[in-house]
Amino acid sequence: MPVSPADPQGAGRSPWLRPLTSFMVLFALSFAAPALAQESETANPGGIPAEAAQAIDAELARTTSLFADVQRLEAQAAGAEGLALQVLEARLARFWDELIATSQGVVERVLALQAAGQDIEPYREAVQTLLTATPKAIFSEIDRARANITLPNSDQSAAEQGAIDAYVGIAFHRVVSLYKAVSENLAQAEAFGLPTQAITAELHTQLEERASYASAFLDIAILEADAARVQLSALPADTEIAGNLNVAEARVKMSSRALQGITAIMSEQGLDSSVYDSQLIATTGEITTDILDVSVLSKLTGDWFAAIGDWFAENGAGLFFSALVFLAIVLITFKVAKIVQGLADKALAASGAKLSKLLRRMIVSSVRGVIIVLGLLIALSQLGISLGPLLAGLGIAGFVIGFALQDSLANFASGMLILLYRPFDVGDLVEVGSGTFGTVSEMSLVNTTILTLDNQTLIVPNNSIWQNVIKNVTAQKIRRVDLTFGIGYSDDIPKAEKILTDIIESHEAVLKDPEPFVRLHELGESSVNFIVRPWVRTDDYWPLYWDITREVKMRFDAEGISIPFPQRDVHLFAEAPIMATNVHTEGTRQDSVPGHRKAFDSAGDAPGDD
């Protein structure tokens, strides 16, 4: 982990210094490993397979070589600086990784032989030396890696801090991997039956310390990121602040990864990491299996409730007042909208403008809607909601919705044309669309409501109305009633004409102008037909239609004039007898007539067959 204010142990260390224990361990292993390898080559009791023995001997020899390489590189790094030091540090890291992997490989091979029942006595001392010395060497390497970390300071530019953080991130990852190696070494030592209490205690102590330092470093990085965001909101064009924000956010991610690595090892070792797990979940927002831990969940829940309580304690009074202002503005808005709606309706009625009821309703409702929208926007601004982004978002949403609802826009355009040209109004009896007949109840900008004569409600899209013929039955104040009455061919035509004329002239609903008329119209198949054409007010159309029809029937019956119904004469003609020839089995011919034909001839006295 990096040297930080929360990590005083690393203060004042030079990059080339390392603990004395590490040197002593390397010194001991550099002499012990060759002897152990030589001993394993000369003694092979227990029947260990030659191939396995050779592999173990080779890895032990490689371990000796790697220790020597590590010593040599550390000696070179003691006097190096700058880029040369970075190169040596990278090579050291690779040698250390190989040394750890090789040592653990030797132990795994020996443990596998032991599990298979082989005698591992020739390698026992070597394995014990590796298992005992390797953890101490790794701890020394961890201290050296931490001592070589230099943290950036606030006086440096964002680019310089980012470059330094890149090396810090590599060091974080290396330290975590070294702790992981110690944990694996402990598992091998336990499997080999060696005491591990001291190394385990040291590992636990260092893990808890490193987790605490990493947690503190993460908190500092979060504070730096929050401060940079506040500064950037005040100065959005400042590139230096934007760079610092990027560096701080990258530092948060780097610290989170380091803390996640350490807490994973702590969980393997049975240490309580719930505090750090909850911090990671709250910081990264990543929901992991750790949240199923009761302690983690309770910690998160407590933090959330505490944060909510602090927020309400700080902002509750202001929020309550803003909510009251919001509700007051909304109530006043709806009240004002209702008053303005009534005033607009009265003003339009008193203006004398020739506006349809539909257009008046649309204007009045639009005025009310505009007032409500403005009032709601003002009310939202009292809650701290910025209206600029909201209006921009509504504009974009309107464009997307408009593109998706092209048919609705066509209905909207048709509705505007209907309101402009006024082919019908509320209360008119119309036939629109594809045969929809009824009274106009109401209309919006996208559809029209029609009530049929049997009181069914039909919602008709305005586009289908405007794209078809519109028949307005009640658009005119007067209408002509077209009636047709027939009399028999033997009836008195002048008398019938006089009766029809008296009936329409005596009815009070018939208008004198235009003048009604009665005419003999056609000679039909079964009757002589008169047409009767009186004019009435539109509202009296059906009452007059029914009255005259009833009166004509009664007067014709009283005056002896018939009202014929369709008649048809049917004439039957007898067909000529159909002769048929039957061939009998003897081969003689005999003429005969079918039975039904003979019956017809007998009944009609037709000549019989010869």
How much is the average pLDDT of 129-135?
A: 85
Higher pLDDT, 341 or 404: 341
Please tell me the distance from the alpha carbon of residue 235 to that of residue 120, in angstroms, as a whole number: 71
DSSP at 290: G
CB 430 within 8 A of CB 470: yes
pLDDT in tens, 474-486: 888 899 999 999 9
Higher pLDDT, 147 or 95: 95
Q: Kindly give, in sequence order, each residue whose CB lies less than 8 Å from that of residue 130, ignoring residues fewer than 6 positions away.
A: 29, 63, 103, 106, 107
Average pLDDT over all residues of the chain: 77
Element (H, E) at 52: helix 50-77
**What pLDDT does 502 receive?**
94
Give me the sign of the Cα torsion angle 67, 68, 72, 78: positive
CA dihedral 366, 368, 370, 373 (to 10 degrees): -130
Q: How far apart are the first and last CA of the chain?
A: 137
- Give the pLDDT confidence of 23-60 residue by residue, as tens digits: 444 444 444 444 444 444 444 445 678 888 888 888 88
CA angle in degrees (0–180, nearest 5) for 532-538-543: 65
Alpha carbons 21 and 24: distance in angstroms, whole number: 5
Which pairs with CB-CB distance under 8 Å and at least 24 residues apart come from 512-515?
514/478, 514/480
pTM, whole model, 2 decimals? 0.46
On whether the CB atoms of residues 114 and 41 are closer than 8 A, the answer is: no
Q: Give the separation between CA 247 and CA 160, rounded to whole angstroms.
A: 10
Evaluate whether 213 touches 172 at the Cβ level (below 8 Å): no
**Cβ(77)–Cβ(89) below 8 Å:** yes
Question: CA neighbours within 13 Å on the CB side: how many for 203?
Answer: 29
Would strands 471-472 and 478-480 be described as parallel, antiparallel, or unpaired? unpaired
Query: What's the angle, vertex CA 238, arms to CA 232 and CA 239, rounded to 5?
Result: 105
Strand 483-487: give its sheet, edge to edge.
483-487, 528-533, 517-523
pLDDT at residue 221 above 60? yes
Query: How far is the CA of 204 from the CAs of 141, 145, 273, in angstroms?
Result: 17, 19, 12
Which residue, 290, 240, 286, is CA-closest to 263?
290
User: 367: closest CA among 389, 348, 394, 340?
Assistant: 340
Q: Is-contact 147 11, C-beta < 8 A?
A: no
CB 303 within 8 A of CB 291: no
Distance CA 581, CA 590 (A): 6
pLDDT value of position 434: 76
Checking if the pLDDT of 64 tops 50, the result is: yes
Contact 525, 566 (CB under 8 A): yes
Query: How much is the average pLDDT of 143-152?
Result: 76
Say how far apart CA 89 and CA 83 lie, in whole Å. Answer: 10
Mean pLDDT along residues 62-74: 85
The closest alpha carbon to 411, from 469, 468, 451, 464, belongs to 464
* Sheet strand arrangement including 447-451: 457-461, 447-451, 436-443, 429-432, 471-472
Helix, coil or strand: residue 605: coil
Query: pLDDT per residue over 479-525, tens digit each?
Result: 999 999 999 999 999 999 999 999 999 999 999 989 999 999 999 88
The reported pLDDT for the residue numbered 422 is 79
In percent, how much of the chain has pLDDT > 70?
Answer: 75
Q: Which of 261-275, 380-394, 548-562 has the lowest mean pLDDT?
A: 380-394
Q: What pLDDT score does 418 carry?
A: 80
CA 379, distance to chain mean position in Å, is 28
CA 464 to CA 123: how far, in whole Å? 95
Query: How far is the C-alpha of 69 from the C-alpha of 77, rounded, in Å?
Result: 12
Q: Is the pLDDT of residue 262 over 60?
A: yes
Question: What span, in angstroms and rounded, lies between the C-alpha atoms of 3 and 12?
Answer: 10
> Cα–Cα distance between 579 and 589 in angstroms, integer?
13
List phi, psi (to 5°) of 521. -100, -45
Query: Residue 483's pLDDT is what?
Result: 94
Res 579 pLDDT > 80 = no
Higher pLDDT, 375 or 349: 375
Single-letter residue type at 159: A
Higher-pLDDT residue of 352 and 547 is 547
Please name the residue that has the structure tokens 């794209």. 467
d(CA 213, CA 8): 10
Evaluate whether 106 touches 59 at the Cβ level (below 8 Å). yes
State the pLDDT at residue 395. 64
The residue type found at 453 is L
The answer to whether 209 and 262 have CB atoms below 8 angstroms apart is no
